[in-house]
Every structure is written in structure tokens, then in C-alpha cells.
């Protein structure tokens, strides 16, 4: 798939995977974005020309607040600096 959004430098375009809401033992539903200290899984969909650690299709772990939100073709993406990637997740 070709993406019109091309990250620059050491930036990575990712699509965040759906995060489920959590329910406490008392029945309170916590939205997925309630804790800014959490991390989230994302799939790499495009990389900048200076990126060397990940490639398109990799599943990665990034901090919750990393990057900037981008909407393209009615889909939500984030552009994340390569140094904000915490791990590559084996599939």
C-alpha cells in the first residue's frame, strides 16, 4: 500500500492498534487514554529516509504521548521520532 504521508528525517508514520477499555473490579469503565504513562502498540506504515531501526510492517511499542496525530483518508495515524520507539514486537 502506498501512503501519501511521507515522514521526514528520523520519523516514523504509525497506525495505533485499537486499545480496549478497562473495567475496574467495582464496574467503573476506564477509557483507553486514562493513563498517560501507558504505552501502545503501533504498526509502522511508512518511514523517513534516515530511519534505520524499523521498517514498514514492524509492530512497535511507543510511549502514550509520543508523536503527533495525523488524519489521512479518514484514518488516524501518528508521526513518531525514531528515538521514541521503545521496542520492536515479534510477530
Answer whether residue 27 is part of any domain: no
Phi–psi pair at 83, nearest 5 degrees: -75, -5
Q: How many domains does the chain have?
A: 1
Model confidence pLDDT, tens digit, residues 12-69: 999 987 666 677 788 776 665 555 557 788 999 999 999 999 999 999 999 878 899 9
Answer whether residue 68 is part of any domain: yes
Answer whether residue 24 is part of any domain: no
Q: Quote the Cα angle for 49-70-16, to 5°.
A: 85
Answer whether residue 5 is part of any domain: no
Domain containing residue 64: CATH number = 2.30.33.40
Please check whether residue 23 is in contact with residue 29, taking contact to mean a CB–CB distance below 8 angstroms: yes
Closest by Cα among 15, 54, 62, 10 to 36: 62
Answer whether residue 51 is part of any domain: yes
Instruction: Give the range of the structural domain holding residue 49, as residue numbers without chain letter.
Output: 11-17+37-89
Answer whether residue 72 is part of any domain: yes
- Please report the pLDDT score of residue 31 as a whole number: 62
pTM exceeds 0.85, yes or no:
no
CA distance 67 to 90: 22
Model confidence pLDDT, tens digit, residues 68-80: 998 888 888 999 9
Amino acid at each position: 500500500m502506498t501512503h501519501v504521508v511521507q515522514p521526514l528525517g528520523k520519523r516514523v508514520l504509525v497506525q495505533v492498534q485499537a486499545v480496549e477499555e478497562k473495567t475496574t473490579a467495582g464496574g467503573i469503565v476506564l477509557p483507553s487514554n486514562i493513563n498517560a504513562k501507558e504505552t501502545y502498540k503501533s504498526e509502522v506504515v511508512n518511514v523517513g529516509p534516515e530511519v534505520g531501526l524499523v521498517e514498514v510492517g514492524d509492530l512497535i511499542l511507543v510511549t502514550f504521548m509520543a508523536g503527533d496525530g495525523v488524519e489521512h483518508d479518514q484514518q488516524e495515524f501518528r508521526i513518531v521520532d525514531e528515538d521514541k520507539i521503545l521496542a520492536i514486537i515479534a510477530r
